[in-house]
Chain A
């Protein structure tokens, strides 16, 4: 693979650690920000990113150019605007943004300058999860160096455009990854989501127009500007453009994350890149893109990992990092673990989520530990039906929690029945 086939990770994993400003420039960095600030209008950047068909890499897959286009267009000087990098990577099973943050922080900084220019925001914030200590250290070092060299600050390259970045280390709550909760957290309040409208692009941080983009999304921008929208489209194997950081965790030979063409078949990711299952384990099902995506059955492994194909298969691409369930791990136990996470991380603002998720967790705990009753399955189905669709709760947290549950109840019906019938977990006793 040549460098242009895997632009995001080309400079990651070098023996000397992340590149400094000079090394980043020698390897092709800073070209994009030069071109942006010297030769392009903000609208031209938005048009190019729209033409590249870049979609958000944080999980929702919204068109990046389209997202930016909702920001009111008025001269930067007249209004405070914010560009926020969502680096609150807390989706269980996901470790891609950490790779980008630790491996090449300047790539994110360059992407943020480009995005900031496109929406004419002078203020950049990196919302970083508090557990990422190494990323925090490397980001702060990279920002300080970029400021010293002149890539950040006032009047960058004499363009008249000024941009500053500061890092906010979070106190740690999953819901902060939701963009409106993230904004609330930055304002120094309990990080509960807000109702939309107003959308952040119009009324975001401190009421000012704000765009929240995922780290991987932003890291794609320098490469799109340098190589063009057509090149970016050509990288994808199917309808979606670019590359994607895909990954696998669970009982495979080589767990990890790899930058591959968007639309790479799931089977290739699991068998070639992750090396297939370890000896003595068979793949049973998987969550294709994090804890809040629905289970796919082993029989669906030949789908391409793009937004549309995974949705058609009944799940979501999500973060693109798959969690594998093997035949010696109890699916009821796995669901109990997942729902414990969602119940704990519910912000508590709306009743169906605050009370419903712990109820689901208790039911699953009872079934897993052999005290479940057949009616418990009806209660689980009730929750999946009532909390699953968007709009029944204040934000997407509960629907995310119901995705693995609803799909798991279907896929693992026999396992649920066996737990209730035998009044024990069959797998735990066999292990």
Chain B
């Protein structure tokens, strides 16, 4: 397993569990054990997560990544001691930052829910390779993260346009589309991961799936109004 396997969701889970600091150890940069240089991806994930932490008011110093080789036991011990010292200095998670525990919890839950969306939006940047530490700060900017959360998209199926063809429902990777034959489809916003698959899948001649940016999707139409009365059938 590579340090690039460490998922953004794992770090968020640790913080959600009340862990005060997270340290990720990876192989030395450019000394990949595989051929993938996944440690650069781990670094990008950390840079992103630190910006997200800033965004929700957590001290980004609680998350750290360092690169070392298997023979550098001394360095490992040194770094771990330093991380522990730093985290102790920062104090308990949230409290030291003046965050209300419930507020922190809900913020972390909200971000965790958006992890799939963040992976889609940031795919290119998360896979980039920054050779120069001076570039680290610029990979993700605070403004970018602010707008990421501000303009978060939602997908909505326009009941007027939906032809209940079930294509989107079959494609949806998380089974978030409530559908049946002749039933107008509805996206379960709790399950939806905002990947946009339905948007792509909906036949262009229907164009029923719409992408909404920066505001929540309208409420779904009530269950009793979902049955489609097909005009063509009526004529026959």
Are A and B subunits of one complex?
no
Interface positions of B (Cβ within 8 A of A): none
